[in-house]
Amino acid sequence: MTELDQVMQSFSTISESLLRSYEALADRARLVEDELHLANRELEAKVEELDAVNRHLETVLQALPTGVVVRDRDGTIVRVNDAALSILGVTSDELDGPIAHDLIHDPDADGEAVSDLQRADGSRLVLATRRAPIQDGAGGYAGAVEILDDRTELFAMTERMHAMDKMAALGTMGGGIAHEIRNPLNAVKGFARLLERELPDDSENRKVRRWAQCIVEGTDEADAIIESLLAFANPERVKQDAIDPAELAASAVRAALQDEGPWEVDVETSAPPFLGDRIKLRQALRNLVANAAEIQPEGGRIQVAVERRGESIALCVRDAGPGVPPELRQRVTDPFFTTRPEGTGLGLALVATLARLHGGDVAVGAAPPPLNGAEFAITIPFDPTREPES
């Protein structure tokens, strides 16, 4: 065999070896491709499964009635649900602003905290926040979850319960005191009127007659306080009268401001006729108008409005006085709480009692421009008048 034949045989052997290697490599490549294709399909299935789980968790997160705020390890908010945005009264874009930082729990504190706050729109918010840390796979700190619970309504109900308890205790005490005081008070008033009538109207007795008149006026004021105490002690059940809003507002203004005085009074009635106790609602509205006048002794504007708000009727009195500070708005309807030296602290408390007898409440806030004083709004359920059957 020549050298050329040997070279050709070696080349043929190498070619066959390369061909077998290529075929083996092609088989291996097909196997790897099949395995990779299978792995890709499994990975796609896992991704779809994870996406489904994430969508489910996001749906659950958004469906929760309590607010949820998630922070990363740096304290940055990375996720928040719709309930949290609604509770805070902000949008997701505002969560990095100062409003959110003032409302949300301190990111460096653990446990539960309850805060009495004010939203950007001025409404009150009683917010309970609870913070729990998030750990990573190695047990280190990876962030925190904050649960926000709006307890404003619960707090308001608790306050109403406490107010009812105080009213009941006040009524029991006031009823006993009123009956004991009224008899000697009537005697004092009777003798003062008798003294005034018996003294001749001359210059020598004019001063004594004036003193007798002052005694009568003082007993009338004391009797008015007793009447308020008796109203707390024995609140009568409300009657169901057909009430014309315009007539109710006009009669309350006449009763509160017996003469025109230095006040500019605007009356607006947009509510339809409704059912309620005409006497008690007029008394409550009269007290609010009188309060608005007393807070502006030198004169000013008073606005009386009877309007429908959804399924409620609102009896509003607004003034142009100094207004009620936010920290006192929850106390002004407490019995015997007053900011005026000459006040008794029973007028607004009686208004709150009459509102509750109708299944309503009294809200105290700031009057809108141009008055910018105080606004007292009695809100009761709307009960429309029923047409008589033919």
CATH number at residue 83: 3.30.450.20
Number of H-type helices and E-type strands within the chain: 8, 12
Taking alpha carbons only, the member of 264, 269, 304 closest to residue 286 is 304
249 and 366 assigned to the same domain: yes
| Residue 4 placed within a domain | no
The pLDDT tens digits for 133-148 are: 888 878 788 888 888 8
277 and 329 assigned to the same domain: yes
| Residue 5 placed within a domain | no
338 and 246 assigned to the same domain: yes
Give the model's pLDDT for residue 386. Answer: 59
82 and 169 assigned to the same domain: no
Give the model's pLDDT for residue 390. Answer: 34
DSSP bridge partners of 13: none
Whether 324 and 345 have beta carbons less than 8 Å apart is answered as no
250 and 311 assigned to the same domain: yes
Q: Which of 79-83, 157-161, 250-254 has the highest mean pLDDT?
A: 250-254
Please say which residue of 122, 150, 178 terminates a domain. 150
280 and 196 assigned to the same domain: no
- For residue 107, pLDDT over 50 is answered with no
DSSP bridge partners of 377: 316, 363
pLDDT confidence tier of residue 165, bands split at 50, 70 and 90: confident
Domain count, the chain: 4
The pLDDT tens digits for 182-209 are: 788 888 888 888 888 887 777 677 778 8
| Residue 122 placed within a domain | yes
| Residue 347 placed within a domain | yes
Buried/exposed 361-374: b ≥16 CB within 10 Å, e otherwise? bbebbbbeeebebb
CATH number of the domain enclosing 225: 1.10.287
265 and 366 assigned to the same domain: yes
167 and 292 assigned to the same domain: no
Percent of the chain past pLDDT 70, that is, above it, reads 85
87 and 216 assigned to the same domain: no
Whole-angstrom Cα distance, residue 145 to residue 132?
5
Q: How far is residue 274 from each of residues 12, 71, 223, 286, measured CA to CA in Å?
A: 110, 51, 32, 18
Please say which residue of 150, 180, 215 terminates a domain. 150
| Residue 39 placed within a domain | yes
State the pairing for strand pair 300-309/263-269. Answer: parallel
Percent of the chain past pLDDT 90, that is, above it, reads 14
Using CB atoms within 10 A of its CB, is residue 146 exposed (0-12), middle (13-18) or buried (19+)?
Answer: buried
Helix, strand or coil, per DSSP, at residue 188 = helix
Please say which residue of 94, 115, 150 terminates a domain. 150
pLDDT confidence tier of residue 167, bands split at 50, 70 and 90: low
300 and 226 assigned to the same domain: no
121 and 219 assigned to the same domain: no
CATH number of the domain enclosing 311: 3.30.565.10
Q: How far is residue 282 from each of residues 39, 207, 229, 277, measured CA to CA in Å?
A: 80, 38, 18, 8
Whole-angstrom Cα distance, residue 116 to residue 123?
11
Residue carrying structure tokens 């307890």: 151
87 and 198 assigned to the same domain: no
Helix 206-233 and helix 347-357: axis angle, to 10°?
Answer: 30
| Residue 386 placed within a domain | no
Mean pLDDT in residue range 32-54: 87
Mean pLDDT in residue range 158-176: 72
| Residue 3 placed within a domain | no
Give the model's pLDDT for residue 271. Answer: 92
Domain extent, residue 182, equals 156-233
| Residue 2 placed within a domain | no
